[in-house]
Amino acid sequence: MAQIGIVVPAYNGARFLRQMLESVLAQTVADWELVVVDDGSHDETPEIVRRFADRDRRIRLVQQGNGGVAVARNRGMAELSADCLEIAFLDHDDVWEADALATLSGALERDPQAAGAYGLARFVDAQGRPDPTHELEAFGRRRRGVRDGSLQDWPPTWPTGLEVMAVGCCISTPGQVLIRRQALGAAEPFDAAAAPSDDWDLWLRLCTAGHLAFVDRLVIGWRQHDNNASRQHRSESASIRYTRAKLARSPQLTNEQRRLIRLADRWHRWDASQWRARWARSALIEGRVLDAANHLRHAVVDRIAFHTSRV
């Protein structure tokens, strides 16, 4: 019997899979089980997982044809034993801090009303070296939400609710989060149509019904490498538009939540315009004129949308 279920979708993940698995084995809590879903890999992914499974009975391999990361995560959750009351979705190239599960499970114990708990991520490179700028950790701490009709900084002691998550995703990688299984319900948690924003779509749905406890502590290394598709700028992707439209159409929303979402979308435009303007200035200083022009164009579009939108 395991308290925590861990799901890892893996597609051609042999390069980093061992480090991820070692980080799970190094956890300071032992009551977990791990399901790795090989999503139609063409490399040594299944062989690596089998070797680890021979070492530790808590690790299992499930294989399927390539269906994408959302489908693989849903399959992995379905394969977990019913005893798992808390679930984490860890990517095959990320690495946990040794106390990640203990930290997040402890946060859930302290906040019985939370649907999940999450901590901070930091960038690590292909060799596992941490980013010395701490840029991603600063991003995780910089939560902004809608309160009294305006966009405000969120105190570190406050949980992350729809007021924050509807402005924009403040969780970089799913492995930051530990979720109560009960909060996920019986439906498949990840919407493949929302990929690569399927994780944000899930956080939004969880925050519609409750909140996520925020832990101001490093729990995971988010690996950056050449094949990391999640490095795409999410605000530019069609999946963001799909996810926002899906949220706005949700029949479960109250009238107050609908108004909050409209406000959050408006303030997202304001925030995005400011970031775009900063990026345009940096690009211009570095001599990247075309990048600067592109950022400036998006900044103007977002600023106009902010001023013309109605709540």
Same domain, 189 and 260: no
Q: Are 220 and 119 in contact (CB under 8 A)?
A: yes
Residue 286 shares a structural domain with residue 193: no
List the chain pLDDT tens, one digit each, 311 residues: 689 999 999 999 999 999 999 999 999 999 999 999 999 999 999 999 999 999 999 999 999 999 999 999 999 999 999 999 999 999 999 999 999 999 999 999 999 999 999 999 999 998 888 888 888 999 999 999 999 989 999 999 999 999 999 999 999 999 999 999 999 987 789 999 999 999 999 999 999 999 999 999 999 999 987 665 444 444 346 888 899 999 999 998 999 999 999 999 888 888 778 878 988 898 899 898 998 998 898 889 878 877 777 66
Residues 173 and 278 in one domain: no
Distance (Å, rounded) from C-alpha 297 to C-alpha 62? 46
For tokens 């979720």, the residue is 179
DSSP-derived 3-state class of residue 250: coil
Range of the domain at 304: 254-308
Query: pLDDT tens, 98-108?
Result: 999 999 999 99
Nearest Cα to Cα of residue 192 among 68, 14, 55, 52: 68
CATH of the domain at 223: 3.90.550.10
Per DSSP, what are the bridge partners of residue 96?
Answer: 220
52 with 119, same domain? yes
Residue whose C-alpha is closest to residue 35's, from 99, 103, 87: 87
Specify whether 102 is located in the same domain as 118.
yes
DSSP structural state of residue 26: T
Q: Tell which of 218, 247, 276 closes a domain.
A: 247
Same domain? 291 vs 174: no
C-beta separation of 242 from 191 below 8 A: no
Same domain, 169 and 216: yes
State which of 205, 224, 247 marks the end of a domain: 247
Residue 164 exposed, middle or buried by CB count within 10 Å (0-12, 13-18, 19+) = buried
Q: Please tell me what DSSP assigns to residue 154.
A: P
Query: Which ranges of 121-254 does DSSP label H, i.e. alpha helix?
Result: 135-141, 162-165, 181-184, 198-209, 238-249
Domain co-membership, 124 together with 258:
no
Of 116, 158, 129, nearest in space to 141 by CA: 158
- Give residue 228's pLDDT: 55
**For residue 207, which of 165, 168, 174, 169 has the smallest C-alpha distance?**
165
State how far the Cα of 269 lies from the Cα of 302, in Å rounded to an integer. Answer: 5
Task: Note whether 109 and 34 are same-domain residues.
Answer: yes
34 and 19 fall within a common domain: yes
User: Is 240 in the same domain as 267?
Assistant: no
SS (H, E, C) 42-102: CCCHHHHHHHHHHHCCCEEEEEECCCCHHHHHHHHHHHCCCCCCEEEECCCCCEECCCHHH
CB neighbour burial string for 103-117, b if at least 16 within 10 angstroms, e if fewer: bbbbbbeebeebbbb
Structural domains of the chain, count: 2
CA distance 101 to 88: 9
How far lies 121's CA from each of 124, 279, 288, in Å? 9, 22, 29
Whole-number Å distance between alpha carbons of 145 and 169: 11
Check whether residue 172 and residue 300 sit in a common domain.
Answer: no
